[in-house]
Amino acid sequence: MRVTFSANGKPVEADDVWEGESLLYVLRERVGLPGSKNACEQGECGSCTVYLDGVPVCACLVAAGQVQGREVRTVEGLAGPDGELGVVQQAFVDAGAVQCGFCTPGLLVQTDALLAADPQPSDTDIREALSGNLCRCTGYEKIMDAVRLASARTCARGAEK
Amino acid sequence: MQGQKNLQKIHQASKDGVGGSPLRPDGTLKVKGEFAYSSDLWHEDMLWGTALRSPHPRATILSVDVSEALAVPGVYAVLTHEDIPGEKYYGLEIADQPALAIDKVRYHGEAIALVAADHPETARRAVKKIRVEYEVLTPITTEEQCLDPETHGYVHEPHEYKSHAYGNVCHEQKLVSGLGVTDEVRALADVIVTGEYEVGMQDQAFLGPESGLAVPAEDGGVDLYVATQWLHVDRQQMAPVLDLPLEKVRLTLAGVGGAFGGREDLSMQIHACLLALRTGRPVKIVYARDESFFGHVHRHPARMRYEHGATRDGKLVFADCRIVLDGGAYASASPAVVGNAASLGHGPYVIPNVRMHAIALYSNNPSCGAMRGFGAVQAAFGYESQMDRLAEALGMDPVELRQLNAVTQGDRMPTGQEIDAPAPVAELLQRVKDMPLPPPLDPEHPDVRTLPGALSNTSHGEGIVRGVGYSVGIKNVGFSEGFDDYSTARVRLEVIGGEPVAMVHTAMAEVGQGGVTVHAQIARTELGVEQVTIHPANTEVGSAGSTSASRQTYMTGGAVKLAAEAVRHELLERGRHRYGWTRDDLSLAGGKVVSASAGVLIAIVDLLGDDAIEQTREHHHRPTVPFDKETGQGFGHVQYTFCANRAVVDVDVELGLVKVVELTAVQDVGKALNPLSVVGQIQGGCTQALGLAVMEEIVVKDGKVRNASFTDYLIPTILDTPPIPVQLLELPDPHAPYGLRGVGEAPTVSATPSIVAAIRQATGKALTRIPVRPEHLTDTL
């Protein structure tokens, strides 16, 4: 089948998609967006989290056909138009929250969604919001630091305006 | 005076040099989703490979029929062991593992045949059409069965043994020190405690699945882009199987999504190359998560018996230990794991009389090998549980008992090896004890998300008891027992765009640990330049050894330092020759050649010109020797490293649920080359220890894996993981580059027992098995 949807604001089209393929497979193998990661492919680790019509979902659990005509935003779409890092991306780099980095794309999308809904989450709010994203390297401490940093920078920027 | 000021500025250590915390050079790519992990690789015309795996832990293969699979449209090759051109067996230490099963299978999930197809689903469907006839045999799975081969059989027939194995014993190491453990020695102790302990099978559970892309080359060789921990040892094992000379098997490191020991053995490397060479097309293999659980070795499960005696005032008199590690079907790293368990299995304590017997068994359980902590983790749960037991029997404070017996510099290990570098075990314990405790649970207004059971809303604070526990552990750094452990680095200094730029080329596997950051820091420090490029790791430069055993900063970092020093030496020689400098107080700083007494002599770019300097150096650590087989004596380890922990837990004693509230770590790192990364390593290591303490286990029943998925094999989430305050001690090791100490493993060794100790304190349960499960706490087994 042919699937057409919008990925990071651009129309994309995938041909010869087998009905059993996931959105994750189509993104990674057919439309050249391998940023979303394939760690468990059963919705347990969050590494493949993307926005689907503005809602974070595990791309591995979405059948390719379900995204027909819809809007997908992946980690590749978090940077600015000139490639400059978004607040959340920069905070993850600065805080040392990236080690192997395989969990990072999913965490970035989930954090982006969290801060959009609540710019000043408590530590427990952060832990609850990110509890679907496994990280095996960091022990999560520096991820907490990154989210707090992104929150502080977002709020400071808001105050400036 | 202005000149002096400028000189000071030039000499100021770059914030991005050794001791600073510059950011990862790959960090920006990683947060943009542009970093190419091994599973992201793509090649025009590429095929997908996958394996048929055994559903039985032990069976004789009567026949394999691949004709139906070959007939599936889109399938390009189906291979069995008969299609292997060269050697059929490989292995890290003992070549006892067939690349594809021959006549029999020895564990659940062993690869039997391979398929290459144009779509991963086509390959999976074709695998299901391979017909295998088995004669299913009763698996050999328990210690008792393994040790009675006359009754239960052999995992490998005795004539198949390729090392010093006997019965189903893959490897053993004995150790005796002092008077050993005799009745006379026992009589010297006022208090004796014994305990039997069990450790479940833990998985590395790195997130990036085993994967890579093999591309057939025009010269008949193959190029493999792969996630691994050691490119050269992969190649060494692969080439004989592929029947190719080493130089025709070229490996390049692709992005690695974590490793933790699980990528030290081969997984898909040979399989992808066999398929690529057969089909003449690039072949990509990416394991699904269940295949990953089957496709790599795990942490050895262990059964241990410990007996400790002490005087009434708490001085240890003797330790008698037996450690039985289940190595599973193939040897992998079991011999080295046994060596570690035997030589580190008493902990960081002075014990005048010791007897130890450590063995690894062959069984029809999944193969076990390297995982963070490598034989020291299991033992630490044993000896630290014993310390708490002893403290209780003596009525002593458990931290004081540990401090009373702690090793320090100048002491001898039970192997007879003198500890010839700082060993601040008592101080680490004191510091961890002195750190402030987290506030008590607020019984009036608890946030249920912070309680045991967390989001399941199982309690609102009732039935919850808090406990605190302590532990300390010891780990060796680098490869031991006479292994010629070395690493190679090439450093090039040239002028690019008017700036001096250093290029560092090594074969080090960057698996997330941050070696690439540290190499740049070392080159900056040694060459006084800001710009450093890290060349992709491949087999075009000499071996870097493995990214394991906490050794890479020590070994490859050491090699980068040596090569950079050689470049600096050549550059300064050039200046001496050209300008007749006679001073011996020259150094490189701030992009200039600087004399301590005469100031700036020349800019590096002007001295270097178009004539770049390149030097390659190997870094070998000082030699070690194998342990004596019977007595365990010998200078077997290069360096020791220590970490102390305190755990605070809340336990719901009605439901048996545990919440770790805080896990504190204090570690001596010798010198923190990059404090941000070092702290990250310690926090990550503590979290894997938390997993082993309360949740992580591959459940194997009758040789079958019951939970090969992230749904059923649980690793800690951010909700399960508490704040992990870390304090660093920096007591330089005089034998190591910059005085550094390997960091990555020690916290994984030490942190587990502290959590179990805290749960014991909260519940009063003995808790002799990890992971601790709710049924252990509620007596509902």
Mean pLDDT score, B732-749: 98
Cα B741 from chain centroid (whole Å): 15
User: With 80 as the cut, is the pLDDT of residue B781 above it?
Assistant: no
pLDDT digits 0-9 by tens, B550-594 = 999 999 999 999 999 999 999 999 999 999 999 999 999 999 999
Question: B736 — contact with chain A (CB < 8 Å)?
Answer: no
pLDDT at B164 (0 to 100): 83
Question: B513 — contact with chain A (CB < 8 Å)?
Answer: yes
DSSP character at residue B523: H
Residues 35 to 64 of A: which have CB under 8 A from any B CB? 35-42, 44-45, 47
Q: Of the candidates B37, B513, B710, which has its C-beta nearest A42's C-beta?
A: B710
CA distances from A55 to A65, A112, B85, B164 (A): 17, 11, 52, 59
From A109, A96, A90, A1, select the one nearest A49 (Cα to Cα).
A109
Question: Do residues A64 and A103 both lie within one domain?
Answer: no
Question: Do residues A91 and A148 both lie within one domain?
Answer: yes
Question: A108 — contact with chain B (CB < 8 Å)?
Answer: yes
Question: Do residues A67 and A16 both lie within one domain?
Answer: yes
Distance CA A45, CA A39 (A): 7
Contacts of A119 (CB under 8 A, 6+ apart): A151, A154, A155, A158
Question: A130 — contact with chain B (CB < 8 Å)?
Answer: yes
Chain A CB contacts of B119 below 8 Å: 18
Question: B143 — contact with chain A (CB < 8 Å)?
Answer: no
What CATH code is carried by the domain that includes residue A18? 3.10.20.30
Mean pLDDT score, B524-530: 97
Chain A CB contacts of B27 below 8 Å: 92-93, 98, 101
User: With 70 as the cut, is the pLDDT of residue B3 above it?
Assistant: no
Question: B450 — contact with chain A (CB < 8 Å)?
Answer: yes
What CATH code is carried by the domain that includes residue A151? 1.10.150.120
Mean pLDDT score, B663-691: 98
Question: Do residues A13 and A70 both lie within one domain?
Answer: yes
Question: Do residues A10 and A67 both lie within one domain?
Answer: yes
Per-residue pLDDT band for B754 (boundaries 50, 70, 90) equals very high
A129 lies in a domain?
yes
Cross-chain Cβ contact A18/B121 below 8 Å = yes
Chain A CB contacts of B447 below 8 Å: 124
Measure CA of the first residue to CA of the last residue in chain A; give whole Å.
48
Strands B316-326 and B302-310: antiparallel
For A80, which residue in chain B has the nearest alpha carbon?
B32
Per-residue pLDDT band for B4 (boundaries 50, 70, 90) equals low
A20 lies in a domain?
yes
Chain A CB contacts of B685 below 8 Å: 139
Cross-chain Cβ contact B684/A138 below 8 Å = yes
Question: A79 — contact with chain B (CB < 8 Å)?
Answer: yes
Per-residue pLDDT band for B8 (boundaries 50, 70, 90) equals low
Residues facing B705 on adjacent strands: B700
Boundary-marking domain end, from A44, A76, A108:
A76
> How many percent of chain B have pLDDT more than 90?
94
pLDDT at B625 (0 to 100): 98
Question: Do residues A53 and A100 both lie within one domain?
Answer: no
Boundary-marking domain end, from A29, A55, A76:
A76
pLDDT at B469 (0 to 100): 98
Chain A CB contacts of B28 below 8 Å: 85, 93
Give a three-class secondary structure readout of B143-191.
HHHHCCHHHHCCCCCHHHCCCCCECCEEEEEEEEECCCCCHHHHHCCCE
Chain A CB contacts of B40 below 8 Å: 28, 34
Residues of chain A with confidence (pLDDT) below 50: none
Least confident of A70-79, B49-58, B157-166, B217-226: B157-166
User: With 90 as the cut, is the pLDDT of residue B9 above it?
Assistant: no
Question: B598 — contact with chain A (CB < 8 Å)?
Answer: no
Question: Do residues A99 and A150 both lie within one domain?
Answer: yes
Question: Do residues A94 and A70 both lie within one domain?
Answer: no
Mean pLDDT score, B486-492: 98
Chain B CB contacts of A74 below 8 Å: 33
Question: A111 — contact with chain B (CB < 8 Å)?
Answer: no
Q: Report the amino acid identity of residue B313.
A: D
Question: Do residues A72 and A123 both lie within one domain?
Answer: no
Q: Report the amino acid identity of residue B137.
A: L
- Residue pair B749/B550 in contact (Cβ under 8 Å)? The answer is no
Q: Of the candidates A90, A102, A124, which has its C-beta nearest B207's C-beta?
A: A102
Question: A18 — contact with chain B (CB < 8 Å)?
Answer: yes
**Predicted complex ipTM:** 0.98
For residue B98, whether the previous peptide bond is cis, meaning omega lies within 30 degrees of 0, is no
Distance CA B774, CA A143 (A): 29
pLDDT at B7 (0 to 100): 62
Measure CA of the first residue to CA of the last residue in chain B; give whole Å.
79
Domain that holds residue A154: 87-160
Residue position matching structure tokens 């089948």: A1
Question: Do residues A95 and A149 both lie within one domain?
Answer: yes
- Residue pair B491/B564 in contact (Cβ under 8 Å)? The answer is yes
- Residue pair B715/B690 in contact (Cβ under 8 Å)? The answer is no
Q: In chain A, how many domains are there?
A: 2
From A98, A124, A95, A128, select the one nearest A110 (Cα to Cα).
A128
Question: B447 — contact with chain A (CB < 8 Å)?
Answer: yes
Question: Do residues A103 and A54 both lie within one domain?
Answer: no
User: With 70 as the cut, is the pLDDT of residue B11 above it?
Assistant: no
CA distances from B216 to B223, B614, B737 (A): 6, 31, 40
pLDDT at B1 (0 to 100): 40
Tell me the average pLDDT of chain B. 96
Cα B487 from chain centroid (whole Å): 17
H or E segment to which residue A109 belongs: helix A104-117
Question: A137 — contact with chain B (CB < 8 Å)?
Answer: yes
Mean pLDDT score, B499-520: 98
Cross-chain Cβ contact B683/A138 below 8 Å = yes
Question: Do residues A98 and A156 both lie within one domain?
Answer: yes
Give a three-class secondary structure readout of B429-489.
HHHHHHCCCCCCCCCCCCCHHHCCCHHHCCCCCCCEEEEEEEEEEEEEECCCCCCCCEEEE
A139 lies in a domain?
yes
pLDDT at A161 (0 to 100): 63
Chain B CB contacts of A45 below 8 Å: 207, 710
User: With 70 as the cut, is the pLDDT of residue B624 above it?
Assistant: yes
**pTM of the full structure:** 0.97
Chain B CB contacts of A124 below 8 Å: 447, 449-450
Cross-chain Cβ contact A101/B257 below 8 Å = yes
A141 lies in a domain?
yes
A111 lies in a domain?
yes
Q: Of the candidates B209, B512, B723, which has its C-beta nearest A39's C-beta?
A: B209
Question: B449 — contact with chain A (CB < 8 Å)?
Answer: yes
Residues 248 to 267 of B: which have CB under 8 A from any A CB? 255-260
A82 lies in a domain?
no
pLDDT at B2 (0 to 100): 45
Per-residue pLDDT band for B446 (boundaries 50, 70, 90) equals confident
pLDDT digits 0-9 by tens, B124-147 = 999 999 999 999 999 999 999 999
A41 lies in a domain?
yes
A81 lies in a domain?
no
Chain B CB contacts of A107 below 8 Å: none
Distance CA B460, CA B445 (A): 9
Residues 76 to 135 of B: which have CB under 8 A from any A CB? 119, 121
From B37, B269, B214, select the one nearest A28 (Cα to Cα).
B37
Distance CA A46, CA A104 (A): 10
Boundary-marking domain end, from A12, A43, A76:
A76
